[in-house]
Amino acid sequence: MKRRRVAAAAAALLFASAAMAQTAAPAAADWPNKPVRIVVVYPPGGGIDLIARNLGKKLSDLWNVPVVVDNRPGAGTTLGAGVVAKSPADGYTLLMTDVSFAIAPGLYKSLPYDTLRDFAPVTLLNTVDDILVVNPSVPANNVRELVALAKAKPGTLMYASAGNGTLNHLAPEMFKQAAGIDMIHVPYKGALAALTDVMAGQVQVYLGALGSVVPQIKAGRLKPIAVTGTRRSPVLPDVPTVIESGVPGYDVAAWYGLLAPVGTPDAIVDKIQRDVARFAREPAFRQSLSADGNEVVAGTPAEFSSFLEREVAKWRKAVVDAGAKVD
């Protein structure tokens, strides 16, 4: 009798598993059959928004359904992420975000989601070179000279940022820690205001996205010191990295990534990643990004998941070390 009950239970389990597989397979095979929404965490017109719209158009043509960009800026990018976290896990709502997504867990006391548990990473789309620059009046032409100047006059050099807790606040703080120097943080309401004052000489130092400062470098309004990643940028190949300039282990880059709500079927996540990678690797798309210092990655969900874990840990430590607090 006992053996019959075990056999019956096993048969029921196999039947249920088969039924689930039959239910899930058509769902993935039929996807998408209605509009797909990409929630972008910044206002229209910025770099991430333009990339999302370009990608959305290509995916719309491939999938034969509308792919709509939904801009949800606010709360340090956490507003848009919260919208996606609470959306159905069916692949029809996606999140396009950046490095601020990894900074937020360390910066905010509470979030309306868990960064590593409430999302299914789809793909790390690209990384973005950052660069350390100074006003041309600063008597330093490289990292060693800048560090020497800061040590000779501690607490006199000032660096500008787009606000407390932003990448260009935390990255210079990491540089200070690694180089053993002191600089004063001057937060602004956005990157444009920060850059404007650095070019005017009101503040001496800035660290930000390469694409945003290249025109100013070429015009002589800013002086490049070093790029912050592990490799030199093809946009400014003569500018060394911070690491090769004598500060070991310093590796900072911005990035854009695509995520879905946790629980989205793996087959759908994998399909989105494959189709995004297909377009991201097109020469025209790559060239449009590389002009601004972007490097296309378009990696797998597993790779993006591991990358996110490392980024969250890195920026959590940076927030603590900097004593950063949101305005």
CATH number of the domain within which 296 lies: 3.40.190.150
Angle between helices 301-322 and 266-280 (to 10 degrees): 80
Tell me the C-alpha distance between 140 and 96, whole Å.
Answer: 38
- Residue-level pLDDT at 315: 96
pLDDT at 327: 56
194 and 213 inside one domain: yes
Q: Which of 178, 208, 227 is the last residue of a domain?
A: 227
Pairing of strands 254-261, 119-128: antiparallel
Q: How buried is residue 81: exposed, middle or buried, by Cβ count under 10 Å (0-12/13-18/19+)?
A: buried
pLDDT (tens digit, 9 = 90+) per residue, 76-88?
899 999 999 999 9
Same domain, yes or no: 288 and 307: yes
Residue 11, in any domain of the structure:
no
pLDDT of residue 294: 81
139 and 197 assigned to the same domain: yes
State pLDDT tens for residues 37-88. Answer: 999 999 998 889 999 999 999 999 999 999 999 999 988 899 999 999 999 9
Residue 24 maps to a domain: no
Tally of domains in the chain: 2
Same structural domain for residues 120 and 151?
Answer: no
Question: Taking the CB of residue 26, how many other CB atoms lie within 10 A of it?
Answer: 9
Shortest CA distance to 50 belongs to which of 234, 252, 285, 214?
A: 285
Q: Tell me whether residue 247 is in a domain.
A: no
Low-confidence ranges of the chain (pLDDT < 70): 1-28, 291, 327
Q: Could you tell me the CATH number of the domain that includes residue 214?
A: 3.40.190.10
Q: Is there a single domain that holds both residue 176 and residue 192?
A: yes
User: Does residue 37 sit within a domain?
Assistant: yes
Question: What per-residue confidence (pLDDT) applies to 284?
Answer: 84
Give the residues across from 294 on adjacent strands.
128
- pLDDT the model gives residue 79: 95
Residue 165 within a domain? yes
Sign of the dihedral defined by the CA atoms of residues 159, 160, 166, 167, in that order: negative
Same domain, 120 and 142: no
Q: Are residues 150 and 72 in the same domain?
A: no
Q: What does the pLDDT read at residue 144?
A: 96
Question: Could you tell me if 123 and 138 lie in one domain?
Answer: no
Whether 242 is covered by a domain: the verdict is no
42 belongs to a structural domain: yes
Distance of CA 181 to the CA centre of its chain: 27
Residue 149 domain boundaries: 130-227
- Shared domain check, 173 and 141: yes
Quick one: 62 and 139 in the same domain? no
Same domain, yes or no: 204 and 274: no
Strand partners, 255: 127
Are residues 93 and 153 both part of a single domain? no
Picking from 157, 192, 227, the residue at the C-terminal end of a domain is 227
Label the pairing between strands 184-187 and 294-296.
unpaired
293 domain residue, yes or no:
yes
pLDDT value, residue 27: 59
